Structure 1
Amino acid sequence: MGAVELILIRHGESEGNAAASAAQAAGLEVIDVKHRDADVPLSKTGRMQAMALGLWWDGLPAAERPGTVWCSPYLRARQTAEIAGLGPASGLRVDERLRDRELGILDTLTAVGVAARYPQEARRREWLGKFYYRPPGGESWVDVVLRLRSLLADLDQSEDGRRVVLVCHDAVIWLLRYVCEGLNEQTLLDLAAVSVVRNGSVTRLVRPSGRGCWKIASFDEVAHLEAGGVPVTKHAGDTNVHPR
Structure 2
Amino acid sequence: MGPRRVIAVRHGESEANVAYRRAGDRPLVYERGDDEVTLSDLGREQARALGVMLAALPPDEAPEVVWCSPYRRALDTWAVAREAWGVAPPLTVDGRLRDREWGELAPYNEAAIGERFPEELARWRAQGEYLYRPPGGESFGDVAVRLRGVWGDLRERADGRRVLIVAHDAVVLVLRHVIAETPDSELAGLAVFAPVLNASVSTWGARDGRLSLLGFNAVGHL
Q: TM-score, normalised by structure 1?
A: 0.84
Instruction: Find the residue that maps to 1:223 and give its secondary structure.
Output: coil
User: How far 1:190 moved relative to its partner?
Assistant: 3.8
**In the alignment, is the contact (CA less than 8 A) between 1:4 and 1:209 conserved in 2?**
no
User: For the residues of structure 1 that align with 2:145 and 2:106, how far apart are their CA atoms?
Assistant: 21
**In the alignment, is the contact (CA less than 8 A) between 1:4 and 1:161 conserved in 2?**
yes
Q: Which residues of 2 match residues 140-219 of structure 1 at below 5 A?
A: 140-184=139-183, 188-193=187-192, 195-211=194-210, 214-219=211-216
Q: Structure 1: which amino acid aligns with 2:42?
A: T
Question: Which stretch shows the higher mean deviation, 178-187 or 164-173?
Answer: 178-187
Aligned to 1:22: 22
Say if 1:87 and 1:101 are closer, same or farther in 2 by CA, change over 3 A.
farther
CA offsets per residue over residues 83-132 of structure 1, 9 Å max, x none? 00169646421000000011011112111111111111111112222222
User: For the residues of structure 1 that align with 2:20 and 2:193, how far apart are their CA atoms?
Assistant: 20
**In the alignment, is the contact (CA less than 8 A) between 1:68 and 1:87 conserved in 2?**
no
- Work out the number of aligned pairs and report it: 220
Say if 1:130 and 1:177 are closer, same or farther in 2 by CA, change over 3 A.
same
Instruction: Find the residue that maps to 1:197 and give its secondary structure.
Output: coil
Aligned to 2:6: 6
**What is the aligned-residue RMSD (CA, Å)?**
1.9
Could you list the runs of 5+ residues in structure 1 that have no partner in the other structure? Answer: 226-244
- Structure 2 residue 93 is the aligned partner of structure 1 residue 126: no
4+ residue segments displaced more than 6 Å: none
User: How far 1:76 moved relative to its partner?
Assistant: 0.4
Instruction: Find the residue that maps to 1:29 and give its secondary structure.
Output: coil
User: How far 1:207 moved relative to its partner?
Assistant: 2.7
Q: Structure 2: which amino acid aligns with 1:74?
A: Y
Aligned to 1:233: none
Q: TM-score, normalised by structure 2?
A: 0.92
Aligned to 2:51: 54
Question: Which stretch shows the higher mean deviation, 187-196 or 115-124?
Answer: 187-196
Question: Which stretch shows the higher mean deviation, 115-124 or 167-176?
Answer: 115-124
Instruction: Find the residue that maps to 2:35 and give its secondary structure.
Output: helix
Instruction: Find the residue that maps to 1:224 and give its secondary structure.
Output: coil
Instruction: Find the residue that maps to 1:164 and give its secondary structure.
Output: strand
CA offsets per residue over residues 137-187 of structure 1, 9 Å max, x none? 111111111100111001111111111110000011110011111334575
**In the alignment, is the contact (CA less than 8 A) between 1:67 and 1:88 conserved in 2?**
no
Instruction: Find the residue that maps to 1:216 and give its secondary structure.
Output: strand
Instruction: Find the residue that maps to 1:64 and give its secondary structure.
Output: coil
CA offsets per residue over residues 29-71 of structure 1, 9 Å max, x none? 22445x2110100000000000111111111122211100100
User: For the residues of structure 2 that align with 1:72 and 1:194, how far apart are their CA atoms?
Assistant: 21
Instruction: Find the residue that maps to 1:114 and give its secondary structure.
Output: helix
Say if 1:123 and 1:130 are closer, same or farther in 2 by CA, change over 3 A.
same
Aligned to 2:35: 38
**% same residue:** 44
User: How far 1:189 moved relative to its partner?
Assistant: 2.8
Could you list the runs of 5+ residues in structure 2 that have no partner in the other structure? Answer: none
